[in-house]
Amino acid sequence: MASHTGELTTQPDPAVRVEALHRSFNEAGGVLNGLDLEIAPGEFVALLGRSGSGKSTLLRALAGLDRGVAGHGRIEVPDKVSVVFQDSRLLPWKRLLDNVTLGLRAGDAAERGSQALEEVGLAGRERAWPHELSGGEQQRASLARSLVRDPELLLADEPFGALDALTRIRMHTLLRKLCEVHQPAVLLVTHDVDEAIVLADRVIVLDGGVVRHDARIDLGTRRSQADPAFARLRAELLHELGVEDDHDAAPRRVARAAS
């Protein structure tokens, strides 16, 4: 386990441990204000919060991508961490297989890269250029690039935010399948409450620079938005985010008009 406070420790459990984390970008105040968080190995956690609440700041801190940002606190993450962003960040001058295996030094890198492409439904596209892929295909390639490293922790910052609704649903199915196979701990930043409920084992809400709400999702594997428990959880989370749920307002109006 690597510690971004400078030390290296060996601690198999939990996968992520954050203690009293502070981060600030200016004198005006902190973005993260003493945040504590643990994520178990293989646990899928969705991170919600209002715009500007510090979700990406937390994710970047866990990824070790915030050197130079003022702050203190303790972060422990596994050695193998992969990050997926909203844009695929494929290098346009490299073919798909070279993008997926970039930086992999193993002798069987090409074989593993092809296998990862197959897993995300891009079998046979090894020699394609990134610009030849659709947005959804590029995000699948980006998932293949992270999974080929067999991460113990997958950090995803709105990975499906730029995709159309149908492609998002397909990507949800794919990500769930990949997580079942590879079992990384996952921290998924999303604005989409339904996406959080569909995918995660647990949802946390960031507010005021700390975890303000922490809810386990016990809806089984087949999650339907039609399930009343799904709707209750959605309303609870939207309330935490300061938004009232009018999801079934229209049917209620119809029912009242008919009575």
Residues that bind ligand ATP (CB under 6 A): 25, 31, 49, 51-57
Instruction: Give the residue with the Cβ less far from ligand ATP, 52 or 228.
Output: 52
Structure tokens at 91: 């290098």
Q: Which of 171, 160, 185 shows the shortest CA–CA distance to 80? A: 185
To the nearest whole angstrom, how small is the minimum distance from the Cβ of residue 154 to ligand ATP?
17
Nearer to ligand ATP, 117 or 187 (CB): 187
* Burial (CB count within 10 angstroms: exposed 0-12, middle 13-18, buried 19+), residue 5: exposed
Nearer to ligand ATP, 53 or 82 (CB): 53
Q: Which residues pair with 29 in a beta bridge?
A: 26
- CA distances (Å), origin 192, targets 28, 139, 168: 29, 17, 11
Question: Rounded CA gap, 100 and 30, in Å?
Answer: 36
CB 44 within 8 A of CB 202: yes
Find the shortest distance in angstroms from Cβ 60 to ligand ATP: 8
- CA distances 254 to 225, 246, 248, 250, 259, Å, are 20, 14, 10, 6, 9
Smallest gap from Cβ 35 to ligand ATP, in A, equals 12
Nearer to ligand ATP, 28 or 257 (CB): 28
- Residue 197: CB minimum distance to ligand ATP, A: 18
In the complex, minimum distance from the CB of residue 29 to ligand ATP, in angstroms, rounded to a whole number: 10
Name which of 10 and 51 has its Cβ closer to ligand ATP: 51
247 backbone dihedrals φ, ψ, rounded to 5°: -55, -40
Residue nearer to ligand ATP on the CB measure, 54 or 113:
54
**Min separation Cβ 89 and ligand ATP, Å:** 17
If the CB atoms of residues 65 and 123 are measured against ligand ATP, the closer one turns out to be 65
CB of 136 to ligand ATP, least distance (A): 21
Q: Are 101 and 109 in contact (CB under 8 A)?
A: yes
| C-alpha span between 58 and 79 (Å, rounded) | 18
